[in-house]
Amino acid sequence: MKYNKYLGMGVFLLLLVGGFYLLRPGHKARAIVMQYPFVLKSMNLVSLSTYKADTSETDSTPLITASGFKLDSLNPKKHRVIAISRDLKELFAFGDKVKLTNAGKFNGIWFIHDLMNKKYRNKIDILINPSDRQMSLERVVISKI
């Protein structure tokens, strides 16, 4: 009977200390960090289209984004730039690193550096090279990292 009392107290202390260790503020469990090296802060379903750095599709300065980011004229796609609709500006800021999923060949990490025209809502534009083919997709998941 005496051992059961100590065993119960030992289990209680183990749970108390273990719980404090796992739940303390600012602590990140190593197993989770190793499996997912980034933290998703917000996730939205959006429509995706593509655009080119050309005055017919942008403003009068196609090689400078709305954030002031300067694009390479020969290979603008290498910067992995996204333009977001203005309603998404409440959730994302210039320079934010985002992850796209359900976007086919555009899956992966991208950077927000541009804004779309006021008429678009819940939409993103992927900057492509002049020689690339235009396309659009629905139900793309954009997640802030």
pTM of full prediction above 0.85: no
Task: Flag whether pLDDT at 90 surpasses 70.
Answer: yes
**Mean pLDDT lowest among 3-17, 47-61, 74-88, 121-135:** 3-17
83, two tokens = 């333009």
Percent of the chain scored above 70 by pLDDT?
A: 71
Start-to-end CA distance of the chain, whole Å, equals: 54
pLDDT tier for residue 105 given thresholds of 50, 70 and 90: very high
Phi, psi of 84 (to 5 degrees): -115, 155
Task: Please report the pLDDT score of residue 19 as a whole number.
Answer: 60
Percent of the chain scored above 90 by pLDDT?
A: 63
Task: Flag whether pLDDT at 107 surpasses 70.
Answer: yes
pLDDT tier for residue 5 given thresholds of 50, 70 and 90: low
pLDDT tens digits for 36-46? 455 555 678 99
Task: Please report the pLDDT score of residue 96 as a whole number.
Answer: 95
**What's the CATH superfamily of 42-144?**
RlpA-like domain (2.40.40.10)
Task: Flag whether pLDDT at 97 surpasses 90.
Answer: yes
What three-state secondary structure class fits 100? strand
Structure-derived torsion over alpha carbons of residues 4, 6, 7, 12, reported in degrees to the nearest 10: 130
Dist. CA 18–CA 53, nearest whole Å: 54
Dist. CA 104–CA 94, nearest whole Å: 24
Phi, psi of 35 (to 5 degrees): -75, -40
> Helical H runs in the chain?
2-23, 30-35
Closest alpha carbon to 145 in 94, 83, 110, 98 = 98
